[in-house]
Structure 1
Amino acid sequence: MGPMDTLASQTGAQGISTSLSADTMYQKCLTLARNLWWTWQPDVINLFRELDPIRWRQLDHNPVALLSEITPERLEIRISELSLHSRINQAYRRLKEYLSERPLWARTHAGVLGSKPVAYFSLEYGIHESVPIYSGGLGVLSGDHCKSASDLGVPLVAVGLFYDQGYFKQHLNHEGWQEEEYIDVRVEKLPLELAGDEEGNPIVVQIETRTGVLKAKVWLMRVGRVNVYLLDTDVDGNSPEDRDLTSRLYGGDNRTRIRQELVAGVGGVRALRAVGIKPGVYHLNEGHSAFAVLEVMRERMMDDGLSFHDAFRETAHSTVFTTHTPVPAGHDRFDAGLIEEHLGPLRDALGISHDQLMGLGRVNPNDGGETFCMTVLALKCSYKANAVSALHGRVTRNMWSRLYSWRIEDEVPIGHITNGVHIPSWLAWQMKLLYDRYFSPDWYQRMGEPEVWQGIFRVDPGELWETHLTLKSQLISFVRRRVSRQCRRREEPDEVIEMARSILDPTVLTIGFGRRFATYKRATLLLSDEQRLNRLLNDPHRPVQFIFAGKAHPRDVPGKELIQRIANLRKDPRFAHRIVFIEDYDINVCRHMVQGVDVWLNNPRRPLEASGTSGQKAVLNGALHMSVLDG
């Protein structure tokens, strides 16, 4: 072998080694990207951002989409340029350790669940802005619930629907009117994989109705230790109408709604059965998925030979229900025809009459004129039920007292568990570093214990203020980018775009209002007296500025009118530099706002806010929370 042969051999071996190294790094990055654990790990978020900061922002912080644009070889070059090898290896090792260990909390408090996990049903999940299958607070709560269960080690699986168009993108036109745009989500760019049965075959569940069979495939999304199963009716064999059934969150009419809820509830239980999961507890988050209890009853009758009465009792003893809605009109109701069309075959399997089935969803089972209410079904078929704050508990007991007419109102069996937040998802990393210096060393593992937060009294006020100013500056930079982009999209004059690049003043008291634009939340309450508003915003010694963000439901005209009123204040020279509206409110916008505002505003009409959590997120980051005394 000559010198050239030796050199060629060495070069070839080096090329193979480099290729193997590139593939290994790529697979490690892909493993990190495909488990949403990364969404509450600041160091892993920074890793992905550094790979390509511009595309990272353009892709809504989606690492699966980012990696799909990069070959393993290009990724290896970028990793070498930035010296990221050790950080990627460390992040990968931390994920593996996280998934393999069982936290002390779970060993102490959740051991009774054993191999039978909690099955958590929700119609939406707000895990991260890159997975747009949520619309607002209910979905964000569900996402935080899954992440908290993962950190605590609670054996939990979650069930919902996959919406390939998600919730709408919001744009305001020149008149300030909200317009909706639905964009197809490319599933290959999301951290999803088709769920398989115990033999590894892709699962397709079937739900029989009087008018045919509904089919749904099942996607698996990993959120730390928690698996989320999402049903999708875009399946061969379904009609075009049924293939579109799960395309949009909260879209369509009552028939669309009952079919979505049938897939989520009945289909969700069948999906768990297909993957080999036998839950010990079923947790219904809102009444949307209450049809699940009927399928569980059918399973118990089929598997254990129980009568309907015994299956009902056993199912109720393993079901808990959380209700969020403080007004009667907000609960889903279906007429007898829709119920028979969609639940008829399941009713036959349960061996009960149409009137018996309807009675399960009526306050008065004998009232033939009463529609079928999903919340009534959930309350009747659950062992424990809870509202989401103390005040909401009182409101809910009053609302459903007729269902328990033999009890006085205070003894109606609906308690309350106040909504909370997943702290690592909302706490700015700069604030975490500050807390690390002054709290107990293990505070991050014990953040649910009240005594841990006594450390806040040891924090140096000057350091807290400097940290807050840093976050506020980041928020204002974010707002300027977003507002100037909005102006460019509307093709506004150059001087308007230029003004947007310098809008808001970092030295001025900044008040944030970000949430769904339902009328009861009273977004424009402080704007009703424009003369007084002018004096407040432009006070020469203590000026104020507002940041608003939020979406109205596509059919909520009064909510859209509130948005229009705020948006059009920018045309008034008194307010143009003091009030901004950020379009397309999502988790990313919310995160920036709660981390950077001085004051978080919450002024709903009491007692219609069951349990808002955005104020909790703001307070975590050093802001003041100004609120009415509502849930």
Structure 2
Amino acid sequence: MPKGGVVYFSAEFGIDESLLIYSGGLGILAGDHVKAASDLNIPLTGVGILYGKGYFQQRINEGGWQQHLYPDIDLEASVYPVRLVRDGEDRPLVIDVTLAGRQVHAQAYAVQVGAVTLYLLNTDVESNREEDRRLTDTLYPSDPDVRIRQEMLLGVGGAKLLAALDIRPNVWHMNEGHSAFLALERIRMLSAEGIPFETALEAVKASTVFTTHTPVPAGHDVFAIDLMDRYFGDYYWQLGTDKERVLSLGQLGGAFNMTRLAVSTSSKVNGVSKLHGEVTRDLFHGWTPHIPRHDIPVDSVTNGIHIGTWLAPGMKELFDRHLPSDWAVRAADRDIWTPVRDIPAKELWEAHQQAKSEMIQALGLPIEQSGDGPLVIGFARRFATYKRALLIFRDLERLARILGDPQRPVCLVFAGKAHPADGPGQELIRRLVELSREERFKGRVHIVENYAMDKAKKLVQGVDVWLNTPVKPMEASGTSGQKAAVNGVLNCSVLDGWWVEGYNGRNGWAIEGATDGDPEHQAWQDSEALYRLLEDEIVPLFYQRGERGVPTDWVGMMKESIGSLAPVYNTHRMVSDYWRKVYVPASARGERFAADHFEVASRVAAYKQFVRDNWSAVRVRKVEILADHSSRIGLAKTAFRAEIGLGAIWHKDVRVEAVGSDGKQGIWKAKLEQVQQQAKGLYVYEGVSPDIPIHIWRTNVNVRVTPISPDFASDFEMELAAWG
């Protein structure tokens, strides 16, 4: 890839606990992505926001209610130094963004993360109005008016910052939809050079990629059209088109959807696990119901973790002794991890016990270790209702028996924050505090305040079991369990997100309850499955001691967990996948579309406009299913014949195919070839049946026409299809 490299936009970056510009999983993933890019010498630049107060600090009051504190971030205390970016004349570099008719100034700061530079914008500048100075105070404000201004600063301001720094990326990567306004600013810049809107759109799209992390519609940022008009009223015309065309890129259900904008302006879209890719296709199918969900162009790159950040020091020392000397830089090589299985059980167990002791001490947990007990189960994540923090409390008497067994004691440790606007999530925390104070749970249920990276490290390194109980399939990926796994902590999780791919029956436990039905039934089934695992498998195995007091079978599972999961669920593998599957193809595509004064982008734009203008005339006029019929295309059997009216569209610019259900929740396709032209714009197509039983495909089959081009990034780039 040429010098411009990749630019990676994210609303949050979890680089280190000393730099509180992150709230949770999305930011931690972004921070790990940046670190892995540095490790692998991938030319990547980060762009985000420097929040003055960051995400809130959590305190839990006597009543169990979460309190939100916003102290200023101490940049001097950051492990990663934050420096002011200066221009060629040694003045602070300031970027101007027009918000609701006035200029808002943002200073640029830089953080060096290995070989990667992370640029951050902040509006606490003396020349700004007071409300604008406060714009970058906090992460994810609830007020839509503040949120849209932050996202304009990130997207529009971030693109302007790169231009001011003369950084010209080959690939623009949007990590979630918060930064999607960058596409509009890039189009505006091209428009200012005289490039027509549709050509500029194709050029921008060719070099832009988008990762979505949210599996539910409610998780996507949506702005009212009048709010868009307020902030973009003087901006629409600068893109070289009208308001309606700009809004069409993100308009959905009468509002402006940032995920829709990101999809409309990207040549590649991916989810963050295989299951999440499927869920995302289901979600986007709602936008384009005329395209089967299996054909929605969404790929997946399963998340991973930066092992160097999350591995316990004692565990690292153990790996340094037993693994090849270069194991840390070859973490994605499965063979590197084979020696884990030969580590003496006592050594691995002692390294884990050391991490457990350090966790208990660092977090001030009133847990007494004796005889390697108690068994400690950790649950730490955002307190959103779908994550079901209280699932394990559905049968209080049964849980009390499990936790309170004097011979085999068990402790639960909880940590996490609820968004300040999430009342139900805060109620979960209050109820958890209430339960922890009940006599039967005293000393057995513990709550860690103010969950952040420093405490997350101790928890994923020190607990014995990592518990995860989301409503399937609402967890896009999840990475906390991956952090636990590399430390030898065993996962016990619903088969959602990454765990569907990672679980092999020997490296942890799967909570296999209900997969459908109403939420109450699903919760009951899942809790029953969890209790059975604790009673029959997890607790007995933990307390089953072998030679020299070591739980040999438990340690065997720890080895299986590390050996099977560490080489796959790490960011070296993840970023290498992005490089190969996403970045390199997007770089080549972007260069091709921009070459020769945007010749390909201009041609594709014109072609798409022609197709859109004439698509209403495309008709599937007649479909026949034929049996034992000699065909003009020389086949013994022809299953389909269709008359297709194309109007002004050339027959070589479409694909005609029979499409149907395969009876297994999938679809089959059979391409139809043109065999006759009956009149101008009217053709006959024929094709053979699929290689599946006739009674399956005959009951559910149709013929579809779609526009095609070798220049399209996917077969359904135009989101057009005509059906019989």
TM-score, normalised relative to structure 1: 0.76
- Per-residue CA deviation, residues 571-629 of structure 1 (Å, 9 max, x unaligned), is 22221111100000000110000001100001100001101000010010111000000
Equivalent-residue separation in structure 1 for 2:111 and 2:64 (angstroms): 37
The match for 1:193 among 80, 83, 99 is: 83
Q: Which residue number corresponds to residue 261 of structure 2?
A: 377
Amino acid of the residue matched to residue 188 of structure 2?
R
Shift of the alpha carbon at 1:250? 1.1
User: Are 2:256 and 1:390 equivalent residues in the alignment?
Assistant: no
Aligned to 1:287: 177
Note if contact 2:48-2:154 (Cα within 8 Å) is conserved in structure 1: yes
What is the CA distance between 1:407 and its match in structure 2? 3.0
Alignment of 1:624 with 2:512, yes or no, is: no
1:543 aligns with 2:415: no
Give the stretch that moved more between structures: 281-290 or 454-463: 454-463
SS at the partner of 1:207? strand
Distance (Å, rounded) in 1 between the aligned partners of 2:163 and 2:370: 54
Q: Distance in 1 between matches of 2:267 and 2:339?
A: 39
1:237 counterpart residue number: 127
Range with bigger deviation, 555-564 or 601-610: 555-564
Counterparts of 2:337 and 2:377, CA distance in 1: 25
Counterpart for residue 517 of structure 1: 383
- Alignment length (residue pairs): 495
1:501 positional shift: 8.0
Aligned positions of 1:423-442 closer than 5 A = 423-442=307-326
Once the 2 structures are TM-superposed, how far is the Cα of residue 397 of structure 1 from its aligned partner? Answer: 0.3
Shift, 1:197, TM fit: 2.6
Partner residue in 1 for 2:164:
274
Change in CA separation of 1:501 and 1:520 when aligned onto 2, cut-off 3 Å: closer
CA distance in 1, matches of 2:86, 2:187: 24
Identify the range of structure 1 (556-565 vs 185-194) with the bigger mean alpha-carbon deviation. Answer: 185-194
CA contact (8 A) 2:359 2:458 kept: yes
Task: Looking at secondary structure, tell me which structure has more strand per residue.
Answer: 2
Q: CA deviation at 1:213?
A: 1.5
Residue matched to 1:461: 345
Q: Deviations over 1:83-111 (max 9, x none)?
A: xxxxxxxxxxxxxxxxxxxxxxxxxxxxx
Q: CA deviation at 1:308?
A: 0.9
**1:609 and 2:499 equivalent?**
no
Matched residue, 1:132: 20
What's the CA shift for 1:395?
Answer: 0.7
Displacement of 1:187: 3.6
Aligned-residue CA RMSD (Å): 1.6
8 Å CA contact 2:367, 2:443 repeated in 1: no
What does the per-residue CA deviation read over 1:528-563, in whole Å, with 9 as the maximum and x for residues that have no partner? 211111100011322210111000111211111111
Matched residue type, 1:617: K
List gaps (5 residues or longer) in structure 1: 1-111, 364-368, 484-499
Residue 300 of structure 1 corresponds to 190
Are residues 1:350 and 2:239 paired? Answer: yes
Asked if 1 retains the 8 angstrom alpha-carbon contact of 2:106 and 2:122, the reply is: yes
1:394-405 maps to which residues of 2 (within 5 A)? 394-405=278-289
Q: Identity, % of aligned pairs? A: 47
In structure 1, the partner of 2:521 is none
4+ residue runs over 6 A deviation: none
C-alpha distance in 1 between matches for 2:438 and 2:313: 37
Q: Residues 62-81 of structure 1: CA distance to partner in whole angstroms, max 9, x if unpaired?
A: xxxxxxxxxxxxxxxxxxxx
After TM superposition, the structure 1 stretch with the greater mean CA deviation from structure 2, 513-522 or 209-218, is 209-218
**1:120 partner amino acid:** Y
Instruction: Specify the code of the residue in structure 2 equivalent to 1:260.
Output: Q
Does 2:319 match 1:319?
no
The correspondence for 1:590, drawn from 456, 470, 486, is: 456
2:233 is paired with a residue whose SS is helix
- Amino acid aligned to 2:347: E
**Which of the numbers 36, 61, 65 marks the counterpart of 1:173?**
61
Unpaired runs of at least 5, structure 2: 498-724
Please state whether the residue corresponding to 1:444 is helix, strand or coil: coil
The answer to whether residue 155 in structure 2 is matched with residue 265 in structure 1 is yes
Rounded to whole Å, the distance in 1 between the matches of 2:100 and 2:23 is 31
Match of 1:36 in 2: none
Equivalent residues of 2:191, 2:240 under 8 A apart: no
In 2, the alpha carbon distance for the partners of 1:548 and 1:580 equals 6
1:254 Cα offset (Å) = 0.4
Greater share of helix? 1
- Counterpart contact for 1:196–1:203, Cα < 8 Å: yes
Please give the alpha-carbon distance, in whole angstroms, between the structure 2 residues aligned to 1:187 and 1:440: 38
CA distance in 2, matches of 1:214, 1:170: 31
Q: Partner of 1:115: helix, strand, or coil?
A: coil
- Which range moves more in the overlay, 325-334 or 178-187? 178-187
Contact 1:129 1:586 in 2 (8 A): yes
> 1-side partners of 2:242 and 2:372: how far apart?
66
**Relative to structure 1, is the Cα distance of residues 441 and 258 closer, same or farther in structure 2, using a 3 angstrom cutoff?**
same
State which structure, 1 or 2, has the greater radius of gyration over its C-alpha atoms: 2
Rate the CA distance shift 1:558–1:210 in 2: closer, same or farther, 3 A.
closer
How does 1:102-113 map onto structure 2 within 5 Å?
Answer: 112=1
Say yes or no: does 1:526 pair with 2:392. Answer: yes
Q: Match for residue 118 of structure 2?
A: 228
Q: CA deviation at 1:276?
A: 1.8
